[in-house]
Structure 1
Amino acid sequence: MKITAIKTYAVKVGIRNQLLVKIETDEGIFGWGESGLSGREKAVVGALEHYAEFLRGRDPFKIGSLWQEMYRSQYFEGGRVLQAAVSAIDIALHDIKGKALGVPVYDLLGGKQRDHIPTFATTFAAPGPEMIDQAKMLVEHGWTALRLSPAGHEEKQIYEPREHIATTAKWLVKAREELGDDVVLGIDYHHRLTVAEAASFCQKMPSGTLDFLEEPIRDESPGAYEALRRLTDVPFAIGEEFSSKWQFQPYIERDIHQFNRLDVCNVGGLTESMKVAAWSETHYVDMMPHNPLGPICTAATIHFCAAVANFSWLETRASPAETHLGFDNSDFFSTQPRLEGAVYPVSDAPGLGVEVNEDLLAKQSFEFWEAPHLKRRDGSVTNW
């Protein structure tokens, strides 16, 4: 079997652009992958065009060897753009191999360790009574792990963390009181805080209020996270923006965090994800994958979650709290993972188990989208 074509579809699907990659072979078997570099899909398309030049004619079964060739056979190796391209290719190659062998992808990763994948769901309302009502509704629907909403994220232009952290902390304490101690509660700050701001936020709540704090600060400096670690006892959930096992290395080896928010569509696909998971297991760090994209990402991540021992929850954007946001892509993906209550069943279909309406996909266009360019009230730029 030989690779004959690598096709890219950077198009608007539902509420967002997706970058889907189809790899075709001379035996008629094809595989689908997805890239996770949201907002910069065009850059990844360019990288995919470079890789396609030497991947055509190659054996798609040699997944590990092709991964190394894509990573090592250039002077400027790695980085988020290149690794997003490698991720999509790697996932598609696993899809091809699973289909060719007649086995689900999890069998290529060591076999299934669980029959269904627990998820965490996210509220969208700002801190206040509505947020707590949404959380209660999710608990009634079976969720035992929730990610709640910080204040200030609804603003599109101005973001001042100090104006919001006290309000958020107050309502998280209230949520813990209302929901009880058995529900896992976390919050995502989207790396918008400094070390001092994140520490102040955590210190405004009694110990035990939060079970995880996601992405409180930017990830470039492990030392900054170590400083924050000394100032709070809240477990950290970080890593969704990491693009290789090397970026995870200092966090794992220095025992900085407790949950890996690994993204299979950014880190280097399933090949790299399994290495990060094994490394994390030696430090008792659980996998808590990032999953905000489309059904290809969800399916690939489900197979990953099924095959690793150190797993906690998978992110889902398909809960009753977020269905109004338009994440349903049924027209484009006739067969895709579907929640059963608060869990995803693990598909036993060959490959990823997703069917794509390519004809409809080809009719879609790309719509440029730019993340909000947030500023503080003094006019300076801050993180989105």
Structure 2
Amino acid sequence: MKISAIRAYAARVGIRNQLLVKVETDAGVYGWGESGLSGRELAVIGAVEHYAGFLTGRDPLAISALWQEMYRSQYFEGGRVLTAAISAIDIALHDIKGKALGVPVYELLGGRNRDVIPTFATTSAPPGPEMIAQAQSLVDAGWRAMRLSVSGHEEKAVYEPREHIAETARWCVETRKALGEKIVLGVDFHHRLSVAEAASFCQKMPSGTLDFIEEPIRDETPEAYESLRRMTDVPFAIGEEFASKWQFLPYIERDIHQFNRLDVCNVGGLTESMKVAGWSEAHYVDMMPHNPLGPVCTAATLHFAAAVANFAWLETRSSPVETHLGFDDATLFPLCPQLDGAVYKVPEVPGLGIEVDETLLKEARFTPWEAPHLKRRDGSVTNW
């Protein structure tokens, strides 16, 4: 069996673009993968085309060797664009190998550790009574872990952290009072804060209010996170934008964080994800995968979550209070993971357990999208 073609499709699905990659073989077996570099899909397509040039005609079952060749085949190794392309191809190769051998992908990763995959959901209403009502509805529906809204994310042009952290902290405290101590609560600041702002936010709440704070500051400097670590006891959940095991390395080995928000569609696919999981297990860091993309990402991450021992929760964006509005459209994805209450059942079918209507995918249009280019009130650029 040889790779006969690699095809990349960037298309608007629901409220966002998805970049899906299909790897075909001369035996008629094919696999699907997905890239996670949202907003830069065209750059990733270029990288996929580069890789297709030397992967065509190769053995699709030699996944590890092909990963190494993709990563090391140019002088400039790695980088988010390249590893996003590698991720999609690597996931598709696992899909092919699972189908060829007649086993679910998690069997290629060492077998499953669990039968169901617990998820965490995210409220969509801004901090306030409606957010608490949404959180309570999630509890009533079976969720035991969730991410609360933060003030200011609804604004599309200007973001001033100091205007929002007090409001967010206030409603986090109120939500904890309303839901009690047994529910896991966190917030995601999308790396919008400075060290001082993040510390101020955490210090405005009683200890134990939050079980995690996600991406409070940017990740380029581990020392900055170490500084923040000394100022707060709130566990950190970071890593969704990390593009290799090497980016995770200082955070894991220096005991900076407690949850890895690894994205299998950014970090280098399932091959790289399993390596990060092993390091994390040795340091008692739990895996809490990033999963805001499409059904291919969800399917791949389910197999990863089934196979690793140190797993906490999988992100879902299909809860009753927040949906990606058609991103898992059953007409385009006739076979894809579906929530069963607050959990996903581990797939039993060979490969990823995903099917895509390629005819409809070809008809779907790609819509260029830019993340909000936020500024502060003084006109300076800040993070989205």
Specify the TM-score bucket, using the shorter chain as the normaliser. over 0.9
Counterpart position of 1:323: 323
Listed one character per residue, the Cα deviations across residues 345-373 of structure 1 (whole Å, up to 9, x for unaligned) are 01110000011100000111110011111
Gaps of 5+ in 1: none
**How many Å separate the matches in 2 of 1:257 and 1:17?**
31
Aligned partner of 2:227 in structure 1 is 227
Q: Which residue of 1 aligns with 2:66?
A: 66
Partner of 1:303: 303
1:97 to partner: Cα distance: 0.2
Paired position in structure 2 for 1:111: 111
1:2–1:26 CA contact under 8 A, matched in 2: yes
Q: Which residue of 2 aligns with 1:189?
A: 189
Structure 2 counterpart SS, 1:74: coil
Alignment of 1:160-239 (within 5 A): 160-239=160-239
1:379 aligns with 2:371: no
CA RMSD of aligned residues (A): 0.7
Give, in angstroms, the shift of residue 261 of structure 1.
0.1
Note the C-alpha offset of 1:323.
Answer: 3.1
Q: Structure 1 residues 254 and 179, CA, compared in 2 at 3 Å: closer, same or farther?
A: same
Q: Could you say which residue in structure 2 is the equivalent of 1:263?
A: 263
Aligned residues of 1:11 and 1:366 also touching (Cα < 8 A): yes
> 1:327: how far off?
3.6
CA contact (8 A) 2:317 2:324 kept: no
SS of residue matched to 1:299: helix
- Distance, in Å, in 2 between the alignment partners of 1:70 and 1:235 is 35
2:20 and 2:335 map into 1 onto residues whose CA distance is 16
Contact 2:13/2:326 (<8 A) preserved = no
Q: State the alpha-carbon separation in 1 of the partners of residues 61 and 333 from structure 2.
A: 25
Q: Spell out, residue by residue over 1:50-89, the C-alpha distance to the aligned partner (whole angstroms, 9 max, x if none).
A: 0000000000000000000001111000000000000000
Give the deviation of 1:324 after TM superposition: 7.2
TM-score scaled by structure 2?
0.99
Please state whether the residue corresponding to 1:334 is helix, strand or coil.
coil
Q: Distance in 1 between matches of 2:66 and 2:5?
A: 15
Q: Contact conserved, 1:33 with 1:90, CA < 8 A, in 2?
A: yes
Change in Cα spacing, 1:305 to 1:138, as seen in structure 2 (3 Å) is same
Report the Cα offset of residue 328 of structure 1: 3.6
SS at structure 2 position matched to 1:356: coil
Does structure 2 conserve the Cα–Cα contact (< 8 Å) formed by 1:318 and 1:327? no
What are the residue-to-residue correspondences of 1:345-356 with 2, within 5 Å? 345-356=345-356
1:359 and 1:95 map into 2 onto residues whose CA distance is 20
CA-to-partner distance for each residue in 1:299-322, whole Å, 9 max, x for gaps? Answer: 000000000000000000010011
CA contact (8 A) 1:317 1:327 kept: no
Q: How does 1:62-101 map to 2 (within 5 A)?
A: 62-101=62-101
Query: 1:26 maps to which residue?
Result: 26
Residue aligned with 2:334, SS:
strand
**Larger deviation, residues 315-324 vs 29-38:** 315-324
SS at match of 2:90: helix
Task: State the shift of 1:144 in Å.
Answer: 0.2
- String of CA shifts for 1:7-26, please: whole Å, max 9, x gaps: 01011111111000000000
Matches within 5 A, 1:274-293: 274-293=274-293
CA distance in 2 between counterparts of 1:81 and 1:329 reads 27
Aligned 8 A contact 1:10 1:20 in 2: yes
3-state DSSP of counterpart to 1:92: helix
DSSP-derived class of the 1:338 partner: coil
- Give the TM-score normalised by the residue count of structure 1: 0.99
Deviations, residues 187-246 of structure 1 (Å, cap 9, x unaligned) = 000000000000000000000000000000000000000000000000000000000000
State how many pairs are aligned.
384
Q: Which residue of 2 aligns with 1:38?
A: 38
| Gap regions ≥5 residues in structure 2 | none
Note if contact 2:295-2:327 (Cα within 8 Å) is conserved in structure 1: no
SS of corresponding position for 2:181: coil
Task: Specify the code of the residue in structure 2 equivalent to 1:296.
Answer: V
